Copies of this chain bind each other. A is one copy, B any other.
Amino acid sequence: MSKEKPSIPKGTRDFGPAVVARRNYIFGVIRRTFEKYGYLPLETPAMEQLSVLTGKYGDEGDQLIFKILNSGDFLAKTKSEDIEQGHKHLTRKISEKALRYDLTVPFARFVVMNRNEITFPFKRYQIQPVWRADRPQKGRYREFYQCDADVVGTNSLLCEAEIVQMIDGALTDLGLTDFTIKINHRGVLAGIAEAIGEKGREGDICVAIDKLDKIGRDGVRKELLERGITEAAVGKLEPLYDLNGTNEEKLAQLQTILGATAEGERGLNDLHQVWQYLQGLQSRALMAENPSGEPRLMLDVTLARGLSYYTGCIFEVKVNNVSMGSISGGGRYDNLTGMFGLPGVSGVGFSFGVDRIYDVLEELQLFPESSQQSTTALIVQFDKASEMYALPVLQQLRDAGISAELYPEPAKLKKQMGYADQKNIPYVILIGSEEMASGKLKLRDMKQGEQQDLTVADIISKLMQ
């Protein structure tokens, strides 16, 4: 057995009790939101067939998939030629499974495998970890959770409106008050490409303007030119970055610019209908203004989102006045299951970035006290007599549903109080000879520093409040 100092793989994390409790608080809010809108949980295995994952994330993505070595003698079927042909070739010979890279491909795989049992429209959410062999850096991990919700098997734009509602609902429940839900449509982007004389080039345009926040207008211009977009087209494109006014005004301006293009019209019609649904739902996101005076839901024609499979509305969410990238995003795709031979299943989905939400809530001090607390009461142990006296008390507390502990040894009082402190236990019960005689136990409120002498029944009713 090794006696080296143990460590964990880089880019991975242990989550101690306090962090798990806060993460579970976030997961709980997100889960309840998904369920309130009729989304039900799905869980898929951590390991997928390598063939299911390969080719879905581009060449770069394929390199970042963690592959699992075949068990047993994985070399049994290899020859020396296989090894000479390098690691990419050998991988296919010695590895058949891999860790999931996202939740979208396993979801598509599940839908295709179970297409005959599933009732469509199928609304599922999935909250599970994914693994990527990315270079670890601040805020980027090799193991992290994704929280996805998708509905497949319907074209209804009600789903898009409900995604806006879920984002607004979950973030509001988490206590956030200043965030922007950006919305755009791939049809609008295609219409823009056509309107500026670069029909069919919306892919290149998307990749470039997706970086507007990071590399600025000049950077985007440079990239667009490199990608072969003409100077004239870039010149026509740039004024759109500054499109302003209310959402309705923006839509009207876009109608003038793109209305004549088929894709642009499709995009604008969809957006109009999403707006109509949101009005019917009396959407707070539609009506609310952020402290800056801007609408919470904002049409942003520079929103592109890199993923190539989006075909309709796209979303992205930013918390304002916090230095943090988007905490949620998604969009409609028309052919996700096509990769597994089942074409024509339209869907729309989005996800929350839990690690980023965690950091935002911590920065803004929005974690509620209830998410920080553990055991409700600790009974201090002085000696054998107090221990024996404490046992039925302990049981009564737990029977009442109160989480409680008896310190398991007659350690020094300071040590026991330190334990309560470290564990953030709000109440300590002290049972000395006087308390045993009177039947009134000392209940110490650790936060207020106050003590009261109370019967067990009174302690229970106080702690159950």
Using CB atoms and an 8 Å cutoff, list the residues of chain A in contact with chain B.
Answer: 1-9, 12-17, 20-21, 24, 35-38, 40-49, 51-52, 54-56, 63-64, 66-69, 71-76, 80, 83, 86-87, 90-91, 94-97, 99, 109-110, 112-114, 119, 121, 123-124, 129, 131, 133, 142-143, 151, 154-156, 158-159, 165, 169, 277, 280-282, 339-341, 374-375, 378, 387-388, 391-392, 394-395, 398, 401-406, 408-409, 418-419, 422-423
Cβ-neighbour of A64 out of B46, B71, B403 (below 8 A): B71
Given A69-B95, A143-B45, decide whether A5 and B341 contact each other with a Cβ distance below 8 A.
yes
Q: Is the CB of A38 within 8 A of B403?
A: yes
Report A182 CB to chain B, min CB distance, Å.
23
Decide if B401 touches A36 in the complex (CB within 8 Å). yes
Contacts of A40 in B (CB 8 A): 17, 20-21, 374-375, 423
Given contacts A80-B83, A395-B281, contact A131 B38 (CB under 8 A): no
Residues on B with C-beta less than 8 A from A49 are: 6-9
**A103 CB, min distance to chain B CBs, angstroms:** 12
- Would B41 and A21 count as touching, CB distance under 8 A? yes
> Which partner residue on chain B sits nearest A419 by CB separation?
B119
| A6 close to B340 (CB less than 8 A) | yes
Residues in chain B near residue A112, CB distance under 8 A:
5-6
A selection of 25 A-B contacts at a CB cut-off of 8 Å is A1-B339, A8-B45, A8-B109, A9-B47, A9-B49, A14-B114, A15-B42, A16-B114, A17-B41, A20-B42, A21-B41, A24-B41, A35-B403, A37-B403, A46-B131, A47-B142, A47-B143, A66-B68, A158-B408, A165-B395, A280-B388, A280-B391, A281-B391, A281-B394, A281-B395
A115 to chain B, nearest CB (A): 11
